[in-house]
Structure 1
Amino acid sequence: MSLTALDRWTPLRAPAHWQAVDFISDLHLQASEPATFQLWRAFMERPAHEQPDALVILGDFLEVWAGDDLLRADAGVGDSDFWRTCFGVLLRYSSERPVYFMHGNRDFLLGAAAASTAGLTLLDDPTVLDFHGERYLLSHGDALCLADTDYLRFRAMVRSPDWQSQFLAKPLSERLAITRELRERSEAHKQTTGRDPAAWVDVDGEAALAWLAAARATTLIHGHTHRANRHELGQGCERVVLSDWDANAMPPRADYLRLTTQGLKRHSVYGSLAA
C-alpha cells in the first residue's frame, strides 16, 4: 500500500444532497453474542428520519468470515442461519441508502458475492471521502499499527491474492476449522497481553500524518484499536477512533460517528434508540 497511490485514487465523492454520513466499525458480530446483534439490528431499523444518507462500515463488522459460500451453506453449518439473517438486515437497509464496507482484520475474506447479496459497495483501505469539499481519510486502522510487526507479517500474507485463492479453494469445513483455530489463538494472545485495549499496539502517529499528507486530508477516521477517542496529531491534523460494540460489557459499548456539514460528532447508540 504505497502512499503515492493515495494521491492517484478517485475519492469517494458524496453527492451534494448528502447531509449526514454515519460510521461504525468493530461490531464483531457473531452468533454467540446475540445481545450485540440485536442492538445493531435495532440501530439499523430506526425510523427513517433518524437515518443518515449513507452508512460506512470500517471493518471487523463480522467476528470471522470463512468465505462467501457460508451464505449458501446448509442450515447450521458455520452459523449459516445467523449470517443469512445479518445479511438480510443489511440488504433491507441498503435498499434505502448506500452502505459502504471496508475490510477489517476479521472479515477480510468477505468478497464480491457476499457484498452483492447485502447490497454493499466495497471500499479500498484507505479511501478518501470528499464530503462537501472537505477530504476525510478512511481506514480500518490495522495497517497503521506499525509496532505490531508479527501481525503485519500475517496481514501481508493473508491479504495476498495467492493465499486467498488457495484458502478459498479448500472445503468449507476445513476453512471453518482454520478460522476457529485462528480465533482461539487470538483469544489466547489477549489472555497473555491483557484484554484491556489500552495495552494493545496503537496507531503510529507519524505514519498517520504521512497518510494524511499523501491524501491531502486533515482527518483520519478509523477503527481497529477499540479506543474510541479523538487525537490531535499536529500540523492541523487529527485522527478520530471509532468505538467497538459490546452489549455485554460493563458498561456496554456502542457508538457511531456522524459526519455532517458541521463536522464530526460521536453518538451513543443507546441514546439514539432511547430518544
Structure 2
Amino acid sequence: MKSADRAAGGSTLPLFDELPAAPGWTQIDLLSDLHLAPDTPATLAALERHLRDTPAQAVFLLGDIFEVWVGDDARFDGFEAQCTALLRQAAQRLTLFFMPGNRDFLVGPALLADVGMQGLSDPTVLIAYGQRMLLSHGDALCLDDADYQRFRAEVRGGAWQTAFLAKPLIERKAIARGLRTQSEDRKRGQMPSDWSDLDAAACLDWLAHAGADLLIHGHTHRPATHALAAGKHRVVLSDWDLDGQHGPARAEVLRLSATGLQRLSLV
C-alpha cells in the first residue's frame, strides 16, 4: 500500500510503501552495505552464518548488499551464482526483503523470484510492534552531493537501464570494474566522515510524510543514532568488512523486536 504523494518543503516527496509486519514476526533483522564481491570471502561467510543461525523470522537487506550488480542474468555463473544460492537457501527458512542501494540498483524481478526474496521500494514504512519506522538505503537524502544526485536520477531511469542491460554481460562487467576503480580512487585518503551525509531537513520531511518518528538507513558507513528533532531520530546501519579492506573488522545487525532496537556485533 502506498501513502499519498504530496509536496512538502518546496519539493515533491516520493510515494511511501507501507509494509505491516506479519503476526508471527517476533524479531526482525536489518542490515546493509556488505558490498559483497569476489574479494570479500570472509564477509560473505559471515552473512551465510548469520542467515543460517539468526532467530529472526524476517531479514531486511537495505541496499549495497553487492558491491556491484550488472543485471539478473549475471546470477548463473561465478560469484553471483554463489550469492544467489546462499540467498535462495536462506529464503527457505526466513522471509527476505531486498531494497536496492546505489551499488545494486539493477537487482530485478528475475533474481528476486529465483531466490524467493520480496522487493522493497525506497522508502518503505515498516509497521511493527506498534510503531511506524521509515526504511531507506539513504542515498536519495544525501542532497549536498549534487553530482551524485544527477547521476542517480539518470541511472534509475528506464532509458539508461534499458540501454545498459542491452549490452553483453561481459561488457557490463567491464564497465562496472571501471566504475569501481574510479570510486575507490575518489575515496582513497578519505574517511567515511568526509563523505556526504543525509540532509536533516529532508529526513524530517520524509518522517512527517510517513507519519513516523524513526528513520533507519545505511549508505553512509557511519553507524550511530542521531537526534533530528524532539522525538525524531535516524538510526544508521553499519557497513560490513571482515576482509581487512577498509580498516578494523566490523559487521553489525540491527535487531528489532517488541522491546525495541538492539545493535548486534558479529565480530
Q: Same fold (TM over 0.5)?
A: yes
Residue 244 (1) aligns with residue 244 (2): no
Aligned residue in 2 for 1:233: 228
- C-alpha distance in 2, partners of 1:234/1:248? 37
Aligned residue in 2 for 1:42: 49
- C-alpha distance in 2, partners of 1:7/1:148? 19
Aligned residue in 1 for 2:61: 57
Under a length normalisation based on structure 1, what TM-score does the superposition of the two structures give? 0.89
1:84: Cα distance to partner?
A: 1.1
Q: Contact 2:16–2:123 (CA<8 Å) still a contact in 1?
A: no
1:69: Cα distance to partner?
A: 0.7
Gap runs ≥5 in structure 2: none
Distance 1:63 1:221, change over 3 A: same
1:6: Cα distance to partner?
A: 7.0
Distance 1:15 1:7, change over 3 A: farther
What are the equivalent positions in structure 2 for 1:1-275 lying under 5 Å apart? Answer: 9-46=16-53, 50-72=54-76, 80-191=77-188, 194-249=189-244, 250-270=247-267
1:248: Cα distance to partner?
A: 2.8
Percent sequence identity is 48
Deviations 1:205-241 (A, max 9, x none): 1110110000000000000000000001113100000
Q: Contact 1:7–1:214 (CA<8 Å) still a contact in 2?
A: no
Deviations 1:2-48 (A, max 9, x none): 666879645100022211110000000001111111121121221xx
User: Equivalent residue of 1:186, what SS?
Assistant: helix
- C-alpha distance in 2, partners of 1:248/1:63? 14
Q: Contact 1:258–1:267 (CA<8 Å) still a contact in 2?
A: yes
The letter for the 1-side match of 2:199 is D
- C-alpha distance in 2, partners of 1:202/1:261? 30
Once the two structures are overlaid, the 10-residue window that deviates more, 139-148 or 4-13, is 4-13
The letter for the 1-side match of 2:60 is V
Gap runs ≥5 in structure 1: 73-79, 271-275
Distance 1:6 1:98, change over 3 A: farther
- C-alpha distance in 1, partners of 2:185/2:146? 18
- C-alpha distance in 2, partners of 1:200/1:8? 27
Once the two structures are overlaid, the 10-residue window that deviates more, 124-133 or 238-247, is 124-133
User: Equivalent residue of 1:247, what SS?
Assistant: coil
Measured on the aligned residues, the alpha-carbon RMSD in Å equals: 1.6
Q: Contact 2:61–2:98 (CA<8 Å) still a contact in 1?
A: yes
- C-alpha distance in 2, partners of 1:9/1:225? 22
Aligned length: 257
- C-alpha distance in 1, partners of 2:60/2:190? 27
- C-alpha distance in 2, partners of 1:199/1:234? 24
1:133: Cα distance to partner?
A: 2.5
User: Equivalent residue of 2:242, what SS?
Assistant: coil
Distance 1:202 1:8, change over 3 A: closer
Q: Contact 1:3–1:211 (CA<8 Å) still a contact in 2?
A: no
Q: Contact 2:17–2:123 (CA<8 Å) still a contact in 1?
A: no
- C-alpha distance in 2, partners of 1:152/1:10? 22
